[in-house]
Amino acid sequence: MNFKLKGVEIIKMEAKLINEFKSGDSIEGFFLIKGVSVKTSSNNKTYLDITFADKSGEINGKKWDSSSEDEELYTENKLVKLRGNISEWQGRLQLKVLKIRPSEDEDNVNIEEFVMSAPEKSEEMYNELIKYIDRISNKDIKGITSHIINESKDKLLYYPAAKSNHHSIKSGLLYHVITMLRSGDKLSDIYTHLNKDLLFAGIILHDMSKLDEMSASELGIVTEYTIEGQLLGHIIQGIKRIEKVAELVGADKEVAMLLEHMILSHHYEPEFGSPKRPMIPEAELLHYLDIIDSRMFDMAKALETVDSNEFSDRIWVLHNRQVYKTNIK
């Protein structure tokens, strides 16, 4: 692939995805700046310490001898074109920037393509979510759920489910909820004593106040936790929200209390934020659907870049386990 960088013909540089980089590669292409800080090197010059990303992953890079103009040009969530070398430092790959410029309109590249996103379209997932709400027959449960989702739609379309860890991708929260709804729907056909209304509403609302706990850009990147997010957390924020909306829509107190209990208990263990454990079966199942969905996601992601009969690295969110890729056919 040949292309021009600021008018100069470049030959034989590789246009790889980040997850294909190897030590020794000379690469070029478009990347998203996910984080940047200005630092001073041991020879007393400033440089930019940048996290570059594409849809396949992230890499740390250095732009040495940076100017103050550079500091203004290369900021978070900017798309850039660059040429660089890949080396290894302390067991991790690093990108040394040789040339860099901001992406321009004529480049015809779409920032959306540089962000890891849920594998399904937001709008389609959102419509599917609405259908699940439509299936709720208890009018109070439906009223509360419907109201909160309406209020949340804008953010829900792009918010990730976490700062890092599982589903920390664009629309990750919505994707997480939809997958859990599908699983919950199936399992409540097997465990028929469960109340589907409660289960669907619990799934839909369980993490909804992550929209208030974290600040995220429209690219689905969490920039920080909010103050209230840190002092109270999304579980408490979610309970306060249900309480308010329940009053607004005139819902039965028992309904509000049960939904609040489901939110409160869905992390299951006190040390993970749930002061009460589930006391209704729908809350119990909610917890396990949540955990299954995050584990299946994290394991699939871990195995993506692993060969058959090999182990992944240790993965912190999976209790520091390595995951093994079988070759069973």
Establish if 311 lies at the interface with a second copy (CB under 8 A): yes
For residues 218 and 228, which CB has a smaller minimum distance to a second copy in the complex? 228
Restricted to residues 46-65, the positions that interact with a second copy (CB under 8 A) are 46
Near a second copy in 134-163, by CB under 8 A: 138, 141
For a second copy, the closer of residues 2 and 326 by Cβ is 326
**Is 35 a residue that touches a second copy (CB under 8 A)?**
no
Q: Is residue 276 close enough to count as binding a second copy by CB under 8 A?
A: yes
User: CB under 8 A: which stretch of 74-82, 163-171, 214-222, 239-247 binds a second copy?
Assistant: 239-247
What is the C-alpha to C-alpha distance for residues 83 and 64, in angstroms, rounded to an integer? 13
With CA atoms as reference, report the closest residue to 161 among 151, 172, 150, 170: 172
> What sections of the chain are H helices per DSSP?
68-73, 122-135, 139-156, 172-190, 196-205, 210-213, 227-231, 234-248, 253-265, 281-303
- CA 173, CA 159: separation in Å to the nearest integer? 6
We find the least distance from the C-beta atom of residue 329 to a second copy, in angstroms, to be: 7
Q: How far is the CB of 278 from a second copy (least distance, A)?
A: 8
Give the footprint of a second copy on residues 69-88 (CB under 8 A). 85, 87-88
In one letter, which amino acid is 230? Answer: Q
Segment contacting a second copy by CB under 8 A, of 13-21, 34-42, 101-109, 147-155: 34-42
Is residue 156 packed enough to be buried (19+ CB in 10 Å), middle (13-18) or exposed (0-12)? buried
Coil, helix or strand at residue 14: strand
Interaction between residue 2 and a second copy (CB under 8 A): no
Q: Which is nearer to a second copy, 220 or 278 (CB)?
A: 278
Q: Are the beta carbons of 160 and 183 closer than 8 angstroms?
A: no
Which residue from 181, 161, 179 is spatially nearest to 171, judged by alpha carbons?
161
For 7, left (φ over 0), alpha (ψ -120 to 50), or beta?
A: left
Rule CB under 8 A: choose which of 35, 277, 306, 317 binds a second copy: 277
- Regarding 316 and contact with a second copy (CB under 8 A), the answer is no
- Residue 271 touches a second copy, criterion: CB under 8 A: yes
For a second copy, the closer CB: 96 or 135: 96
3-state secondary structure of 168: coil
Binding segment toward a second copy, per CB under 8 A, in 51-59, 104-112, 160-168, 265-273? 265-273
Residues constituting the chain = 329
Which residues within the stretch 168-197 sit at the binding site for a second copy (CB under 8 A)? 179, 182-183, 186-187, 189-191, 193-195, 197
Residue 109 or 215: which CB sits closer to a second copy? Answer: 215
324 is an interface residue for a second copy by CB under 8 A: yes
Helix (H, G, I), strand (E, B) or coil at 98: strand
Distance CA(276)–CA(265), nearest Å, equals: 5
Radius of gyration of the chain (CA): 23
Tokens of 309: 């009969």
Spell out the residues 6+ positions from residue 143 whose beta carbon is closer than 8 angstroms to its own. 249, 250, 251
Q: How far is the CB of 265 from a second copy (least distance, A)?
A: 8
Is residue 315 close enough to count as binding a second copy by CB under 8 A? no
Stretch that binds a second copy, among 74-82, 146-154, 159-167, 318-326 (CB under 8 A): 318-326
- Tell me: does residue 303 bind a second copy (CB under 8 A): yes
Cβ-based nearer residue to a second copy, 68 or 108: 68
